[in-house]
Structure 1
Amino acid sequence: MNKLKTPVWLLVTVFFSAVTYTKAQKANPEAPVEQYLQDSVRVQKIFSNISIPFDISMNDIEKQINGTLTGLIYEDNSYTDDGNDNFKCKVWKRSNILITAGTNDVFDFTVPIKVWAEKGIGAFGLMKYIPIEFEMNLKFSTRFTIRPDWAVQTFTTPNGYEWVTKPKINIGFDVPIDFIVGKIIDNNHSKFAKSIDDAVAKNLTIKPYVIQAWNAASQPYQVSEEYRTWVKITPLEIYMTPLITAGRNVRSALGLKAYTETIMGEHPNNPLPVNNIPNLKLVSNIPNDFQVGLMSDVPFSEAALVAKKMFIGKTYDFKDGKYKIEITDLDIYGSNEFLVIKTDIKGSLKGTVYIKGIPVYSPVKKSIVLTNTQFDIKTRNILAKAAAWLLEGKMVKMIEDEYGMPVDELITYAKQNVESAMNSEYKKGVKLSGKIESVLPDKVYLTPSSIVAVVLAKGKVELKVDGL
């Protein structure tokens, strides 16, 4: 009967394997508590400047002025004022006022008028008052300004005149008196100018339109329906540049200094509309540096799936191969600011260990990576007694070096969503126009359901409001 002969080397291998198996240490430390610093992410408020350019056509200015100045625009009911000039008159606007030229904030315009007047003519205490009627075009130059209280203010000065029909009196034959009336017009021209300024001050204001822009800018707008992400702007101050002319248009820009913040979750509460706004600050130029936080939301289930593909089945050896462990499963959750990787292992050590690190966004890898990675303190305490060789850091360092969740595609998607929202009419008559120019890493947050990477997007944004 032949006996089965087993090679000595195989017996030795089985023996040592059995010894190794029986000597495998077990690790079952208490898990780090799962808790989160916030339920949802609301990115810290960031200062931004939003430009609100506006063009006003001179046709619109003419329309405003003509709507303000109608009918009788001046009257003098006394013969004895202005040094007993023996002159009364009434002045009506004959047709529409026309703006003829503009340079920066100064405009030249013509006021067509019809005049009824009575001029006293006589000598030696005998005076005859003769009514006259004539038409002329008064010319003015005016400078527009907006006061800090948002009132429109004009400074109008005479700029000559031209006759349409010259004044004359009939004393059996026509006697031209344009040289006499012209002198009176010269003396009263500045009064006409003041009448225009008074009418503008009383009737023109842009404050209601600015309040409209302020309230429109304050409404949260959605930048991602899928990730329930909103951008909210909170205006703080408002600026304005001097008026300038360009062709038949008048241009300026308002600037909002505001907080911008990004919010995930339900629609943020709409702020109550304001009825008043801060005083205007006049500046030479409007800064236009818009900033907003872009979010990439990675669910823990997805983050764990990425980690499993990277590490399950991977074997680590220690002490020149004396000890070996293999990762068999893992899970991921948050513990305050730390991301915890619950790792099941077998080999020279069997059981569960907990590795934790602080997640950050790496612009080089364009991924969420771990920093300050280490075994949890309760895991370290057990390993110090059962498997001190595992504390040499090789496994932890490899996980820190290799682990990363690519979020560049999500950030690009968020950037596209914000730009799309910027360039749309998100409320009737209110349009945003802008572009994101750079993206810089900011912070990573842990919520009960996900890892949220935030990057700071910088660019330029304009807000356009119909009618402003």
Structure 2
Amino acid sequence: MLKFFPLLFLIILLIFTSSCSTTNKIATLKPEPDDATPLVYENTPSYINLPISIKLRDIENQTNSLLNGLIYEDNNIEDDDIEMKVWKQAPIKIENDNGSTGEKIKTVLPLKVWVKYRIGTKKLGVELYNYKEFNLNGVVTLISDVALTNWKLSTKTELKSLNWNESPTMVVFGKNVPVTYLINPTVSLFRSKIERKIDESIEKSMDFKPNVLAAIEKICTPFQMSEAYESWLRIVPIEIYSTEAKLKNDSFLLEMGMKCNMETLIGRQPESKFNAAKIILKPVTKIPKQISANIAAVSTYTEASKIMTKNFVGQEFGSGSKKVKVQNVAIWHKEGKMVIALDLLGSVNGTIYLAGFPEYNDLTKEIFFDKLDYALDTKNKLMRTANWLAQGLILRKIQESCRYSIKPNLEEGKQSMMSYLKNYSPMPGVFVNGKMEDIQFQKIQLTNQAIIAFIKVNGTVNVSVDGLK
């Protein structure tokens, strides 16, 4: 009986030591995360269409507000025996001159004319004059050629006709004598004045540069695509192009386009790179319709870790009695690589660390890790304590589960862009519309908070400026 106890103790000791040899505690050095500077991704230039639609009624309203009251005055009666004042009598009407060849506008100006006319002579210092005053109402019709010059819609106006509402008369020797023959020649005196007044007022009212630049400045203000991931889209203008203005029905149509870079930035709101002083208007015959936009599909490390942890659920790695299960996954950035921390339970207990470069599979829309290997300290400890786990076959099997789909992120990024392409109005009278085609993967970059997959989307964007304010 006494001999039995040493034998029993030996068996228990062997079982205990055998059990201890199959479960190794591993304590490896954690590769501490480092900082990845915020991203600025500049793509190839894109084009945004800026069709400017200006209705004739807007020109009419602006012209009426600028041209009011007295529009011509001649107070010198000595040179031609006439004094004259001309007022705008009623609102000016501006319309398409459909009866003319080419693109012209017709301006109808109701006016009131006051004329002081003298008849007589001056002899030996004695004035022998008879003065008469007339108040006349009439309508002047002017025809204008239209051109675009230095951001302004300019006109070259000519007086086409002047129709009096009634024929002016004066009493001469007791008879009413028509004096239209006296008044009409005076039209030549103020004709050029009226033409110039019309041209100046239209040019001033049609300086659309402030409107266009204000719209572009709004468009170029970085806007947030995702609040959760702090992703921003910034448009940086390079050049502005413009075709010739075309008059169609009741509107002037001006095709404009902006050559720009679209940058995606992660982090705090970036500054705008809009500089009105550097924008030059260049004449072109055609504006490109297609644009290419870059979108950031952002996966935070926390999000990616949760997805990969699910991939390992129920899986065992190893052979025979030597197996481990992955309980949890955590990932972060270090020196351009991804560090993947795996919490193990089984024949080896503890945390091991892998490192590799993120890649993208365009077919499956998955991010995977190329050249995945154990971190140096992890590899050294596994070689001493669990060499079987350090073998390449097990590593490859683990690597198969170190992947996750970013398809939801891609769709979220696309939907974020689409929200700005459905009649989005950054300011009154400015509307953004467009459509997007399928997405194309570009590249992956890392920040200290997330994996960023950059994608390219082709489509069309129209920014319409409708009306003058």
**Per the alignment, do residues 22 and 68 of structure 1 end up closer, same or farther by CA in structure 2, a change over 3 Å counting?**
closer
CA apart distance, 1:424: 6.2
The one-character-per-residue Cα deviations of 1:84-115 (angstroms, maximum 9, x if unpaired) are: x6554322222221123247863111112222
Check the 8 A contact 2:169/2:180 in 1, yes or no. Answer: yes
Query: What does 1:202-351 correspond to in 2, within 5 Å?
Result: 205-266=207-268, 268=269, 278-311=279-312, 314=315, 328=326, 331-333=329-331, 334-342=333-341
**1:431–1:229 distance in 2 versus 1, CA, 3 Å:** farther
Report the Cα offset of residue 72 of structure 1: 1.8
Which amino acid letter does the alignment assign opposite residue 71 of structure 1? G
Amino acid at match of 1:433: N
**1:147–1:280 contact (8 Å) kept in structure 2:** no
SS for the counterpart of 2:304 is helix
Q: 1:346 and 1:273, CA in 2 relative to 1: closer, same or farther beyond 3 A? A: closer
Could you tell me which of 70, 75, 93 is aligned with 1:98?
93
SS in 1 for 2:364: coil
Aligned to 1:454: 454
1:58 paired residue number: 56
Superposed, 1:41-80 pairs within 5 Å as 41-44=39-42, 47-78=45-76
Contact 2:218 2:427 in 1 (8 A): no
List alignment gaps of at least 5 residues for structure 2.
Answer: 1-16
Rate the CA distance shift 1:202–1:348 in 2: closer, same or farther, 3 A.
Answer: closer
Q: Aligned residue for 2:5?
A: none
SS of 1:65 mapped into structure 2: helix
Counterpart of 2:451, as a letter, is I
Give the aligned residue type for 1:171: V
Report the secondary structure of 2:187's partner residue: helix
Q: How does 1:74-89 map to 2 (within 5 A)?
A: 74-78=72-76, 86-89=81-84
- Contact 2:36/2:448 (8 A) holds in 1: no
Percent of aligned positions that are identical: 26
CA shift for structure 1 position 67: 1.5
Q: Out of 102, 114, 131, which is 2:112 matched to?
A: 114
TM, length-normalised to structure 2? 0.74
Provide the C-alpha distance between the structure 1 equivalents of 2:265 and 2:97, rounded to a whole number of angstroms: 46
State the SS of the aligned residue for 2:229. Answer: coil
Structure 2 CA distance for partners of 1:34 and 1:60, relative to 1, 3 Å: closer
Q: Cα deviations across residues 326-362 of structure 1 (Å, max 9, x unaligned)?
A: 5645634322222233457799999876543321333
Q: 1:326 to 1:110 in 2, by over 3 A?
A: same
Superposed displacement of residue 438, structure 1: 3.3
Which one of the candidate residues 180, 190, 193 is aligned to 2:192?
190
Which residue identity does 1:58 align to in structure 2?
Answer: L
Counterpart in 2 of 1:138?
A: 140
State whether residues 315 and 326 of structure 1, in contact with CA within 8 Å, keep that contact through their aligned partners in structure 2: yes
Instruction: With the length of structure 1 as denominator, give the TM-score of the two structures.
Output: 0.74
Per-residue deviation, 1:223: 2.9
Structure 1's 177 and 57: CA in aligned 2 closer, same or farther, altered over 3 A?
Answer: same
Residue 368 of structure 1 deviates from its aligned partner by: 1.5
**1:295-344, Cα deviation, whole Å (9 max, x unpaired):** 33333344334334445665678xxx999875645634322222233457
CA deviation string 1:169-204 (max 9, x = no partner): 432423334355445435753342123223445666
Q: CA deviation at 1:293?
A: 3.5
Matched, 1:160 2:161: yes
Residue 221 of structure 2 aligns to a residue in which SS?
coil
Deviations 1:246-286 (CA, angstroms, capped at 9, x unpaired): 332333354444443333444x1665997867343344444
User: How far is 1:139 from its partner?
Assistant: 1.6
SS in 1 for 2:438: strand
Q: Secondary structure at the match of 1:242?
A: coil
Q: Which runs of 5+ in 1 are unaligned?
A: 1-17
Question: Distance between the aligned counterparts of 1:112 and 1:449, measured in 2?
Answer: 69
Q: 2:438 touches 2:458 (CA, 8 Å); kept in 1?
A: yes
> Do the aligned partners of residues 143 and 446 (structure 1) sit closer, same or farther apart at CA in structure 2, a change above 3 Å counting?
same
Alignment correspondent of 1:433: 433
Contact 1:227 1:264 in 2 (8 A): yes
1:62-100 CA distance string (max 9 Å, x none) = 12111121122123444676xxx6554322222221123
Contact persistence 1:441–1:455 (CA under 8 A): yes
The total of aligned residue pairs comes to: 443
CA contact (8 A) 2:290 2:460 kept: yes
Residue identity opposite 2:454 in structure 1 = V
Aligned-partner SS, 1:165: coil
Corresponding residue number in structure 1 for 2:177: 175
SS at match of 2:177: strand
Alignment partners' CA distance in 2, 1:171 and 1:281: 63
Matched, 1:368 2:367: yes
Q: Distance in 2 between matches of 1:163 and 1:33?
A: 92
Partners of 2:371 and 2:182 in 1: CA distance: 94
Taking a change above 3 Å as real, the CA distance of residues 305 and 133 of structure 1, as seen in their structure-2 partners, is: closer
CA distance in 2: counterparts of 1:222 and 1:313, whole angstroms: 39
Counterpart CA distance in 2 for 1:244 and 1:307 is: 58
Change (3 A) 1:143 1:373: farther
- Report the CA distance between 1:412 and its aligned residue: 0.9
Q: Superposition pairs for residues 330-409 of structure 1, below 5 Å? A: 331-333=329-331, 334-342=333-341, 354-374=353-373, 394-395=393-394, 403-409=402-408
SS in structure 2 of the partner of residue 205 of structure 1: coil
Judge conservation of contact 2:154–2:203 (CA < 8 Å) in 1.
yes
Whether the 8 Å CA contact 2:237–2:274 is kept in 1: the answer is: no
CA offset digits 1:220-248 (Å, max 9, x no partner): 33333343433333444444443333332
Q: Is the 8 A contact 1:211 1:276 kept in 2?
A: no
Amino acid aligned to 2:297:
S
Measure, in 2, the Cα distance between the counterparts of 1:203 and 1:249. Answer: 15
- Tell me which amino acid in the other structure corresponds to 1:99: I
Letter aligned with residue 363 of structure 1 = D
Distance 1:378 1:443 in 2: 30
Does the 8 Å contact 1:298/1:450 carry over to 2? yes
